[in-house]
């Protein structure tokens, strides 16, 4: 009976596989079967140290596939690309006799379910890569009032009322600038792909309703996180 696992592209799925593999070499026992190949194709990457059984199994399957099929492994995802089920090119010289389990047709029943799992794996890799590429910046900004009669409490409320995805307001303080006038110095963090600091100032902080209190804004410090 075939053994199947769901959601092997997720941490919970890998955890269930790790628990199942406790005390086992392969999924079906001591021999590599197509159950191992299908599960291997669905796992995004080698499981980490938190999943020792799954990590050991992943290395065994990877090594076994590489040694058993030094050419093109067909119908299984190796190196991030699934190949269509077709015959493996014959070696130039006659290969030595293989073990019994090498004679199994490990790739002969590449189903729509396998293809779906492979597509989900690719999508998860792209999402992971995209999230890594989206950096953040830490910014220190001076917000200046019109004059000494400007209500600085309302000015700060107006500034913090600006909300958008990827914008996070931090700590602030009032700093004297002379003649009884104080400026608001505020920290903020932005997700670079979502928030343009120039647009934040020009389209939100220095236009209505904020410009009732805000005269101008200056960037004091800008650091990539």
CATH number at residue 140: 3.30.70.60
Structural domains in the chain (count): 2
56 and 157 fall within a common domain: no
- In this prediction, residue 81 carries a pLDDT of 41
154 and 218 fall within a common domain: yes
- In this prediction, residue 188 carries a pLDDT of 96
Q: Domain of residue 165: give its range.
A: 136-224
- In this prediction, residue 128 carries a pLDDT of 65
**Please, which residues have CB within 8 angstroms of residue 139's CB and are 6 or more apart in sequence?**
187, 188, 189, 190, 197, 219, 221, 222, 223
User: Structure tokens of 190?
Assistant: 């932005």
Q: Look at residue 176 and tell me if it is in a domain.
A: yes
Strand order in the sheet with 167-178: 167-178, 181-191, 136-145, 214-224
- In this prediction, residue 8 carries a pLDDT of 79
Sequential DSSP letters for 182-194: EEEEEEEEEETTT
CA 112 centroid distance within chain: 25
CA 215 centroid distance within chain: 41
- In this prediction, residue 147 carries a pLDDT of 92
Angle at alpha carbon of residue 130, lines to 220 and 139, rounded to 5°: 10
pTM above 0.85, yes or no: no
Query: How confident is the prediction along the chain (225 residues), in pLDDT tens digits per residue?
Result: 455 676 777 888 888 888 888 888 888 888 888 888 888 888 878 888 889 998 898 988 888 877 765 544 434 444 444 444 443 444 444 444 444 444 555 555 556 776 677 777 777 776 666 555 569 999 999 999 999 999 999 999 999 999 999 999 999 999 998 888 999 999 999 999 999 999 999 999 999 999 999 999 999 999 998
Cα 111 from Cα 47, distance rounded (Å): 24
Q: Look at residue 118 and tell me if it is in a domain.
A: yes
122 and 152 fall within a common domain: no
For tokens 């019109």, what's the residue? 146
From 132, 148, 177, the end of a domain falls on 132
DSSP state of 39: H
Q: Look at residue 123 and tell me if it is in a domain.
A: yes
- In this prediction, residue 119 carries a pLDDT of 76
Q: Look at residue 107 and tell me if it is in a domain.
A: yes
- In this prediction, residue 139 carries a pLDDT of 95
151 and 113 fall within a common domain: no
From 132, 164, 194, the end of a domain falls on 132
Q: Look at residue 2 and tell me if it is in a domain.
A: no
- In this prediction, residue 87 carries a pLDDT of 39
């Amino acid at each position: 009976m075939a053994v199947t696992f769901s959601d092997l592209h997720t941490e919970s799925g890998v955890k269930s596989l790790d628990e199942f593999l406790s005390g086992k070499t392969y999924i079906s026992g001591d021999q590599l079967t197509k159950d191992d190949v299908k599960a291997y194709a669905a796992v995004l990457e080698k499981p980490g140290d938190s999943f020792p059984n799954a990590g050991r199994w992943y290395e065994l399957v990877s090594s076994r596939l590489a040694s058993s099929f030094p050419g093109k492994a067909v119908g299984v995802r190796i190196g991030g690309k699934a190949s269509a089920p077709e015959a493996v090119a014959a070696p130039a010289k006659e290969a030595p006799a293989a073990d019994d389990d090498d004679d199994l047709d490990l790739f002969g029943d590449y189903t729509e379910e396998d293809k779906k799992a492979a597509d989900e794996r690719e999508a998860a890799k792209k999402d992971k890569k995209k999230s890594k590429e989206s950096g953040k910046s830490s910014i220190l900004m001076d917000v200046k009032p019109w004059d000494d009669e400007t209500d600085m409490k309302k000015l700060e409320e107006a500034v913090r009322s600006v909300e958008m995805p990827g914008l996070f307001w931090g700590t602030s303080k009032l700093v004297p600038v002379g003649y009884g006038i104080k400026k608001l110095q505020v920290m903020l963090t932005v997700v670079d792909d979502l928030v343009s600091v120039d647009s934040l100032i020009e389209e939100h902080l220095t236009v209505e309703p904020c410009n009732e209190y805000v005269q101008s804004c200056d960037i004091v410090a800008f650091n990539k996180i």
